[in-house]
A and B are shown apart, each in its own frame.
Chain A
Amino acid sequence: MAILEADGLKKHFDGVAAVDGVSFAIDNGSIFGFLGPNGAGKTTTINMLTGLARPSAGKILYQGRECTQHLKDAQHLMGVVPDESNLYPELNGFENLCFCAALYGLGKAEREARARRLLETFGLADAAGRKFAGYSKGMKRKLTIAAAVIHQPAILFLDEPTSGIDVASARQIRQLLADLKREGTTIFLTTHYIEEAERLCDRIAFIVNGRIVANDEVAALLKPVQGRFATVFTFQGSGPSLIDNLRSTFPDLDFTPESQNQIRVKSTGPIAIGPLVRFFEENRIEVAEARRVQPSLEDVFVRITGIEALVMKKEKEKQGGAA
């Protein structure tokens, strides 16, 4: 059964469509990934689904009941982790969690017990008595997630939960999300980390310019690229400048820049490395590594949206740097 359905949701800001008619259904107990570049409309969609923004058009159904105009009635089902931590800087970790639990009507003994348990689970027990203002970014994000699940919501919304934080915290958060799913919580996750979505989600929707361009189970999304072959070359110097030259020399192969010094080569058949290495040698470019890779969701995303994986990566770095 679907816990949440969106039907033709639209949101206009001053006549410009930020979200342009998105529809989807999220199965109870699943992880749904909303994947798209910056400005695609992910946050705006979450705001509409949680009652922070009013849709310009469309319908929202929770557990089969329409509540587009009265989302208050469904808010007890939701836990929300916004893209920026929004707890109270002057309260400590424990007080923040207890306060959030109180907003959902939990009694004192219950909220204190749950707060202690969550601080333990999230590895924040030692920081429980410290003011939130002094937490690191990763700790802030973890406490914000703890605050969102303290009333045991049926569906948890997370807006880019791992962007801009340290690698260890990000890994821990992914583990926690997997645990929550196992306990039966439905998760709505926005991200622009393609591998993260692939690893965590049962179903993924790609959103670009306010429209969903693909929405399927991960296995089904991967189908078109299965049987495709890919190799990533890493160079000592800069490689991607050669791309045009490569494309004309090897018309059967598909080349995309992977990073500053990496090129991804794709093909429908096995890739012969020899001619490529010789080509690089002739152009005085030293190959540090040639690595065979499984086709991934990244390839699917590039195929469907036409957006280079590099663009998403750049945005990811930009965000991480600014944060």
Chain B
Amino acid sequence: MKHWIAFWNIVVKDMRAYYLKPPNVSWGLIFPFAWTAMFFIKSGRGLESVLAVLPGVVAISVLFGTTSMLAVTVTFEKKSRSFERLLLAPIPLELLMLAKTGGAIVFGMVNAFVPVIVAVFLADLSGVAWWQVVLATGLISVSSTFLGLFIAVAVSEVFEAQTFSNFFRFPMIFLCGLFFPISALPIFLKPLSYLLPLTYGADILHGAFHGGNSMPIGLDFALMTLFCAGLFYLSIRNIHRKWIH
């Protein structure tokens, strides 16, 4: 069976049906802009701080562009029963879920480059380690999409999926060292930070943009990969347990 035809068509259908719709596209553009502006104004510093703020803005753009998408591509389709069609197709469940998340992952990465393109006009980006930026953005996109998947599989209503993703992502803004270093957090919150994949993704980005990583980059990559694999594995297990009764 030519699984790749199924895979590709699922990704393209989701892209066309959900991601490339005007509300999503404008959200994907406006959101990073708004965050960028807010942090410049709030920091009161000049444009020299662009490189310090950029990792946080990139990470947030990805996080917000991906986590709630699965509420639509998975929870909504589950509720309207069209998801059954996918479960009935002779495609391994793992491949099917990679296809359902593939669109969101790409969408997240595209979102990430909106603030980067803005920054090109505001700061000198010649010292940036681009391959690390791309890899880290990819991993952040995968891990936050899989977090969205994990949530989408755990709930049965679309609004629950959206509420739960906010429950995760707003604290993550403050806990993952995006804008304030983790070392500045109260001691009892620190362990929480290290349980969140975004912490490691943000660390790579800080390193890549201005050499400000606090952990070895190799360790960051390894942990991120582990988080992605873990979230995906848990989601698949939950689908087996909950949806194939």
Task: Write out the residue numbers on chain A whose beta carbons fall within 8 Å of the beta carbon of B86.
Answer: 103
A75 x B81 contact (CB < 8 A): no
A102 x B85 contact (CB < 8 A): no
Q: Which of A81-120 contact B (CB under 8 A)?
A: 82, 84, 86-91, 99-100, 102-107
A87 x B82 contact (CB < 8 A): yes
How does the 8 Å CB contact mask read for B63-91 relative to A, with 1 for contact and 0 for none? 00000000000000000111011111111
- Band of interface residues on B: 20 to 34
B244 x A54 contact (CB < 8 A): yes
A76 x B90 contact (CB < 8 A): yes
A13 → chain B closest CB, angstroms: 8
In the complex the two chains form, what is the Cα distance from A76 to B88 in whole Å? 9
In the complex the two chains form, what is the Cα distance from A148 to B240 in whole Å? 23
A86 x B82 contact (CB < 8 A): yes
Contact of A84 among B8, B81, B87 (CB under 8 A): B81
Task: Write out the residue numbers on chain A whose beta carbons fall within 8 Å of the beta carbon of B3.
Answer: 105
- Band of interface residues on A: 20 to 34
A78 x B245 contact (CB < 8 A): no
Task: Write out the residue numbers on chain B whose beta carbons fall within 8 Å of the beta carbon of A107.
Answer: 2, 5
Q: Which of B1-48 contact A (CB under 8 A)?
A: 1-3, 5-6, 8-10, 13, 17
In the complex the two chains form, what is the Cα distance from A88 to B86 in whole Å? 12
B92 at the interface (CB under 8 A from A): yes
B1 x A104 contact (CB < 8 A): yes
A103 x B244 contact (CB < 8 A): no
A285 → chain B closest CB, angstroms: 48
Residue with the highest number of chain A CB atoms closer than 10 Å, among B1, B86, B88, B93 = B88
A191 at the interface (CB under 8 A from B): no
B245 → chain A closest CB, angstroms: 5
A99 x B9 contact (CB < 8 A): yes
A278 at the interface (CB under 8 A from B): no
Task: Write out the residue numbers on chain A whose beta carbons fall within 8 Å of the beta carbon of B81.
Answer: 82, 84, 86
A242 at the interface (CB under 8 A from B): no
A103 x B9 contact (CB < 8 A): yes
A293 at the interface (CB under 8 A from B): no
**Segment with Cβ contacts to B, from A33-41, A45-53, A204-212, A244-252:** A45-53
Report the 9 A-B pairs with minimum CB-CB distance, sorted nearest first.
A102-B9, A105-B2, A103-B89, A86-B81, A75-B90, A76-B90, A105-B1, A103-B6, A86-B82
Of the A-B pairs whose beta carbons lie under 8 Å apart in the complex, a sample of 18, sorted by A's number, is A47-B245, A50-B88, A51-B87, A52-B244, A53-B244, A73-B90, A75-B90, A76-B1, A80-B88, A82-B84, A86-B84, A88-B17, A90-B17, A102-B9, A103-B6, A104-B6, A105-B2, A105-B5
